[in-house]
């Protein structure tokens, strides 16, 4: 009976005029895997934004967005299998994706099938749209996009800040830098780029320290960090395992400036880690955080009510980034539909090139400007750096209460504008 109903619905959809047919879109999520600690709020932001577009804007040019969500548990083979299902049965025209391993594994597929893939992986390898960098293992990725700076550019910005921080504090000698993270495509993505710039800036680069993507006892890694007298340490994993490192290093008495990657710290992690998270520096992709008074926040709060009707939930930085990512895709789809045009993957891709300094309408002051070129998908080279501030006991009270009371804060400390170096494309 269920299969008959689904078949009937599909027949009805195809019986509608093209201008009224729903637009099929895939949404790949990690709600249960190794990166679900940050995957859940980001994925909720994407889902809420797309539902809000259907509800308040009547979809795209009068056509509802038919979103097919799938929790792949951060298992790349499952992502590839689901992609095959989406392109076989559903025939999606665009996908909101997630992780680095799966996104990179699908580059050739989405290029062949001409399906824009807007990921939450910010691997720099995805920015070489025309395949002109000549870097080993980097291939043309004309259908891959993401909102915000790449992992590599986020790390480059933090290293530039760290070099200035070292001088500002009047420290002598060469500062010591170390990359920390799992031996996995995601934390490894910016490793070589970061170590190369660290050396260029005069850092002494220490051997990398590995720790798994899952929480655990990382006392040994912290003792290695302490014995090496590292000054700046990059945490390449998501917040879940970083919390374990921060706590272990606090116990071990490690004195180091931690630099978190874009997924490596947020408000939820600050509550969980407590005082151990105090002082961590990390990039934030949006121009405002929850509770800010930017013009676009009113619209973001409306979107938040899709899954929180009471309007009481605190939304961490990743939720807002999910909203911005979804809205870029929506507006690229709107461009494809202009003048009665077909909403195809190729036309959606071209929609990403239609604007410069692109902020989705109504999201001013929240979504930072993006500019994509046909040969360069580095949407932005401006990186906002924030510092986690924890000034008391975080075990009592919700994130909302702790942020409202000022027990926890995330404070902007710098904005770094990187050069669009050609040798950094795809790296």
Contact 242, 182 (CB under 8 A): no
Cα(422)–Cα(381) distance, integer angstroms: 13
Nearest Cα neighbor of 270 from 390, 385, 387, 397 is 390
Residue 224 vs residues 184, 221, 253, 258: alpha-carbon distances, Å: 20, 5, 12, 15
- Kindly state the tokens that stand for 258: 């931690």
Give the DSSP per-residue string, 118-139.
E-S---GGGG-TTS-S--TT--
- Kindly state the tokens that stand for 359: 């902020």
Segments of the chain with pLDDT less than 50: 1-13
What pLDDT, on the 0 to 100 scale, is given for residue 19?
65
- Give Cα 48 distance to the centre of its chain: 16
- Kindly state the tokens that stand for 162: 């760290």
What pLDDT, on the 0 to 100 scale, is given for residue 225?
98
What pLDDT, on the 0 to 100 scale, is given for residue 15?
53
What pLDDT, on the 0 to 100 scale, is given for residue 134?
87
Cα(321)–Cα(370) distance, integer angstroms: 13
Q: Where are the beta strands (DSSP E) in 285-397?
A: 382-390
What pLDDT, on the 0 to 100 scale, is given for residue 2?
39
Cα(273)–Cα(283) distance, integer angstroms: 18
* pLDDT tens, residue by residue, 318-345: 999 999 999 999 999 999 999 889 999 9
Cα(336)–Cα(341) distance, integer angstroms: 6
What pLDDT, on the 0 to 100 scale, is given for residue 206?
98
Whether the model pTM is above 0.75: yes
Cα(324)–Cα(4) distance, integer angstroms: 37
What pLDDT, on the 0 to 100 scale, is given for residue 157?
98
What pLDDT, on the 0 to 100 scale, is given for residue 18?
61
């Amino acid at each position: 009976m269920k299969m008959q109903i689904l078949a009937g619905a599909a027949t009805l959809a195809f019986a509608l005029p093209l201008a009224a047919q729903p637009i099929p879109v895939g949404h790949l999520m990690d709600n249960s895997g190794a990166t679900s600690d940050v995957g859940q709020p980001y994925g909720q932001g994407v889902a809420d934004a797309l539902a809000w577009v259907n509800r308040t804007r009547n979809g795209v040019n009068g056509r509802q967005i038919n979103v097919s969500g799938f929790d792949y548990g951060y298992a790349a083979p499952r992502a590839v299998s689901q992609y095959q299902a989406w392109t076989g049965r559903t025939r999606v025209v665009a996908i909101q994706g997630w992780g680095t391993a799966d996104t990179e594994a699908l580059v050739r597929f989405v290029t062949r099938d001409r399906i824009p893939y807007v990921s939450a992986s910010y691997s720099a390898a995805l920015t070489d749209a025309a395949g002109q960098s000549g870097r080993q293992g980097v291939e043309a990725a004309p259908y891959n996009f993401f909102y915000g700076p790449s992992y590599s550019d986020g790390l480059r910005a933090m290293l530039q800040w760290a070099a200035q921080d070292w001088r500002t504090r009047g420290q002598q000698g060469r500062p010591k830098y170390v990359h920390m993270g799992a031996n996995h495509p995601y934390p490894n993505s910016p490793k070589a780029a970061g170590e190369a710039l660290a050396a260029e800036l005069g850092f002494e680069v220490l051997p990398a320290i590995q720790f798994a993507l899952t929480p655990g006892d990382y006392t040994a890694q912290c003792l290695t960090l302490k014995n090496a007298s590292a000054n700046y340490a990059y945490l390449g994993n998501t917040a879940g395992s970083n919390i374990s490192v921060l706590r272990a290093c606090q116990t071990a008495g490690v004195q180091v400036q931690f630099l978190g990657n874009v997924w490596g710290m947020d408000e939820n992690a600050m509550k969980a880690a407590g005082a151990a998270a105090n002082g961590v520096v990390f990039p934030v992709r949006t121009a405002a955080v929850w509770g800010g008074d930017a013009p676009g926040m009113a619209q973001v709060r409306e979107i938040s009510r899709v899954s929180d009707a009471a309007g009481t939930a605190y939304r961490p930085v990743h939720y807002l980034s999910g909203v911005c990512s979804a809205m870029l895709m929506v507006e690229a789809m709107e461009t494809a539909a202009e003048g009665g045009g077909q909403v195809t993957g190729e036309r959606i891709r071209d929609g990403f090139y239609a604007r410069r300094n692109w902020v989705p309408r109504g999201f001013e002051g929240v979504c930072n400007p993006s500019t994509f070129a046909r040969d360069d998908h580095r949407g932005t080279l401006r990186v906002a750096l924030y510092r986690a501030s924890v000034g008391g006991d975080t075990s009592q009270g919700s994130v909302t209460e702790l942020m409202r009371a000022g027990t926890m804060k995330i404070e902007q400390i710098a904005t770094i504008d990187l050069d669009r170096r050609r040798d950094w494309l795809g790296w």
